[in-house]
């Protein structure tokens, strides 16, 4: 389990003053991925057009390259702008299987200034039921801190 207070402080220090979205995504993905052994794949999907996400910086095996807002857990998070906690990906209607090892996942919207949707943060686990509300709350705060000023 991540020590989110320490992780948040570390990310804040690394990202201070940075305004480039991709640089921030790369740094946040790396720090998150190496902070918790539940995190099997950690990365961002960027909004690149109307209702369309494309892969951004990530850690782990290959991810899906393109995800429409209408499909999968990442699409649901982008479409609804709400955190998606999926204890069992097999039970999620329309789940996109980018990796056969994924058992559960959490996907959070990444919002910039004024609520602009920048993308989503997707964290997959090879363990079932790996994520809960404490993860959602801590990760939402980290994302707001890193991206909220953009």
**Is the Cβ–Cβ distance between 43 and 59 less than 8 Å?**
yes
User: Are the beta carbons of 47 and 118 closer than 8 angstroms?
Assistant: yes
**Which among 138, 122, 150 has a CA at the least distance from the CA of 46?**
122
Domain count, the chain: 1
**Global confidence as pTM:** 0.96
pLDDT for residue 146: 98
CA-based nearest residue to 39, from 26, 48, 51, 30: 30
- The domain containing residue 95 runs over which residues? 4-147
Q: What is the mean pLDDT of the chain?
A: 95
User: Residue 1 above 80 pLDDT?
Assistant: no
Alpha-carbon 83 to chain mean position: 9
The proportion of the chain whose per-residue pLDDT surpasses 70, expressed as a percent, equals: 100
In which band, very low, low, confident or very high, does the pLDDT at 106 lie, cut at 50, 70 and 90? very high
Quick: pLDDT tens for 69-100: 999 999 999 999 999 999 999 888 878 877 78
Longest dimension (CA), the chain: 41
Question: What CATH number corresponds to the domain at position 122?
Answer: 3.30.450.40
Residue (of 36, 34, 30, 35) closest to 44 by Cα position:
30
pLDDT of 49 = 96
Q: Cα 66 vs. chain centroid, distance in angstroms?
A: 15
Count Cβ atoms below 10 Å from residue 69 Cβ, excluding itself: 19
Say if residues 116 and 110 touch (Cβ distance below 8 Å). no
């Amino acid at each position: 389990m991540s020590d989110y207070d320490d992780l948040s402080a570390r990310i804040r220090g690394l990202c201070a003053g940075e305004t480039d979205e991709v640089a921030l995504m790369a740094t946040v993905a790396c720090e998150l991925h190496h902070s918790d052994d539940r995190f099997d794949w950690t990365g961002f999907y960027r909004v690149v057009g109307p209702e369309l996400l494309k892969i951004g910086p990530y850690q782990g095996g290959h991810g899906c390259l393109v995800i429409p807002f209408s499909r999968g857990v990442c699409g649901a998070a982008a479409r609804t702008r709400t955190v998606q906690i999926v204890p069992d990906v097999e039970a999620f209607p329309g789940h996109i299987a980018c990796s056969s090892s994924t058992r559960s996942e959490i996907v959070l919207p990444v919002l910039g200034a004024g609520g602009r949707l920048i993308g989503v943060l997707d964290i997959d686990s090879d363990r079932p039921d790996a994520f809960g509300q404490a993860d959602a709350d801590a990760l939402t705060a980290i994302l707001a801190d890193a991206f909220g000023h953009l």
